[in-house]
């Protein structure tokens, strides 16, 4: 059956890919800028963007997570008035999504609600990419010491990202099984 292969029954049409990327990007953007808890005085707020990125990585794969993660967070930055960070978000969160998606897709299972340990590995890798990326970029923008201040916040955010994304991915698959066929 189609589900076991994990391949979409919808042909790889450009319209489908555009649609999928656009909506996932919008979801990531909304998760990033809408649900925020201010913690650090820098640009920091705990946002659920990482939840969306990991969800996309686990459910849709590396390409989707790359674009949705990068463009989504960049758009969120622009909307909230931090457009100077947009190019950096594009790169860092894009890479985060890509890496997490690649690792998660190693153990792709189409069955309902199956949890894979690879998701945790993927999330750890994503965290490393994101934190290192922001540290490097932050150093360029505001200097190493100020960038370092953001690090704990970023770690916390990624932790929230994983803690949120895992049950969320399972819940969505159980409540809406056809989601596995939207992967490409």
Chain residues binding other proteins by CB under 8 A are: 1-2, 9-11, 13-27, 29-31, 34-35, 41-43, 48, 51, 55, 67, 71-72, 75, 78-79, 81-84, 86, 112-113, 140-146, 149, 164, 167-168, 171-172, 174-179, 181-182
Name the residue nearer to other proteins (CB basis): 6 or 164: 164
Q: Which helix H or strand E contains 93, and what residues bound it?
A: helix 86-104
Task: Report the relative pairing of strands 36-38 and 45-47 from DSSP bridges.
Answer: antiparallel
Reading phi first (left if > 0) and then psi (alpha if -120 to 50, else beta), residue 114 is in beta
Name the residue nearer to other proteins (CB basis): 11 or 117: 11
From residue 167, alpha-carbon distances to 19, 76, 161, 163, 174 in Å are 25, 24, 11, 7, 10
Name the residue nearer to other proteins (CB basis): 121 or 177: 177
Instruction: Report in angstroms how near the CB of residue 10 gets to other proteins at its nearest.
Output: 6
Name the residue nearer to other proteins (CB basis): 16 or 118: 16
Cβ-based neighbour number of residue 74 at 10 Å: 26
Instruction: Report in angstroms how near the CB of residue 69 gets to other proteins at its nearest.
Output: 12
Tokens of 35: 């649900």
Instruction: Report in angstroms how near the CB of residue 173 gets to other proteins at its nearest.
Output: 9
């Amino acid at each position: 059956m189609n589900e076991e292969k994990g391949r979409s029954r919808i042909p790889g049409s450009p319209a489908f890919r555009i649609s999928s990327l656009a909506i996932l990007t919008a979801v990531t953007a909304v998760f990033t800028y809408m649900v925020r808890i201010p913690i650090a005085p820098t640009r920091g707020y705990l946002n659920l963007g990482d939840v969306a990125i990991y969800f996309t990585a686990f459910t849709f794969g590396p390409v989707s997570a790359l674009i949705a993660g990068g463009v989504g967070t960049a758009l969120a930055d622009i909307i909230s008035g931090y457009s100077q960070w947009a190019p950096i978000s594009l790169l860092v969160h894009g890479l985060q999504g890509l890496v997490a998606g690649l690792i998660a897709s190693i153990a792709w299972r189409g069955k309902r609600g199956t949890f894979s340990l690879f998701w945790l590995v993927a999330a750890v890798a994503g965290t490393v990419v994101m934190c290192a990326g922001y540290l490097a970029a932050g150093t360029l923008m505001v200097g190493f010491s100020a960038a370092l201040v953001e690090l704990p916040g970023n770690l916390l955010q990624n932790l929230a990202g994983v803690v949120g994304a895992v049950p969320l991915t399972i819940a969505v698959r159980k409540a809406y099984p056809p989601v596995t066929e939207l992967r490409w």
